[in-house]
């Protein structure tokens, strides 16, 4: 009986707290996470999803030939729990910022050791651990309103897809088989 009176006394405070929480505006470019797993290793990507909102994206909102944070807000981060091959380059396990340099025909994909960056404003090429070129593909008839990062995985190979508007970038990643113990 005492417990019931206690909770009833708190009810006005709890309900006002819940109402206030609903008034907090959400970010226009919300945070998203995607991942791929193979056996005992995984890749996790944390990024923010800007929206198209009837804007011209690549070449305009995201200029060609300039370093982009590959999303919105904070620089996109990728965590590798084991070494992997990105295209043909061995990348050590760890967490990296994922930057890109969009172009009309190809994109430069960059993994960088600097973490916790806001955008690409303090991007430092000396911290790069990977730079590769990837051809641009078209999504066909489909238009992606939100910038989307996802994986298309086939066993130990996972294509990392960067998709927005009608542009699609496919980055091949090869998980390395764990050594038998």
Return the domain boundaries, the chain: 27-175
- Smallest CA-to-CA distance from 73 within 57, 52, 50 is with 50
Higher pLDDT pick, 4 / 39: 39
- Beta-carbon neighbour count of residue 48 at 10 Å? 19
Q: What is the mean pLDDT of residues 152-157?
A: 94
Q: What is the mean pLDDT of residues 95-108?
A: 98
Report the alpha-carbon angle 44-48-50, nearest 5.
140
For residue 14, the surrounding DSSP H or E stretch is: helix 2-22
Strand 94-101, strand 106-112: pairing: antiparallel
Asked if residue 94 lies in contact with residue 137, where contact means CB atoms within 8 angstroms, the answer is no
For residue 134, the surrounding DSSP H or E stretch is: strand 128-138
Q: What is the mean pLDDT of residues 136-146?
A: 94
Asked if residue 167 lies in contact with residue 176, where contact means CB atoms within 8 angstroms, the answer is no
* 57: helix, strand or coil: coil
Instruction: Quote the DSSP letter at residue 127.
Output: G
In the chain, the percentage of residues whose pLDDT exceeds 90 is 79
The predicted structure's pLDDT at residue 2: 53
């Amino acid at each position: 009986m005492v417990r019931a009176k206690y909770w009833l006394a708190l009810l006005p405070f709890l309900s006002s707290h819940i109402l206030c929480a609903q008034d907090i505006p959400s970010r226009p470019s919300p945070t998203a996470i995607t991942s791929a797993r193979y056996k005992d290793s995984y890749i996790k990507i944390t990024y923010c999803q800007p929206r198209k909102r009837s804007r011209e994206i690549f070449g305009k909102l995201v200029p060609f030939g300039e370093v982009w944070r590959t999303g919105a807000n904070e620089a996109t981060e990728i965590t590798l729990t084991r070494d992997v091959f990105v295209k043909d380059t061995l990348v050590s396990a760890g967490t990296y910022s994922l930057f890109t340099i969009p172009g009309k025909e190809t994109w430069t994909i960059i993994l960088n050791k600097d973490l916790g960056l806001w955008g690409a404003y303090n991007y430092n090429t000396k911290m790069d651990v990977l730079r590769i070129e990837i051809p641009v593909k078209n999504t066909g008839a489909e238009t992606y309103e939100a910038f989307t990062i996802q994986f298309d995985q086939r066993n130990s190979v996972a294509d990392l897809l960067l998709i927005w508007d009608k542009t699609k970038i496919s980055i091949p990643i090869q998980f390395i088989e764990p050594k038998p113990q």
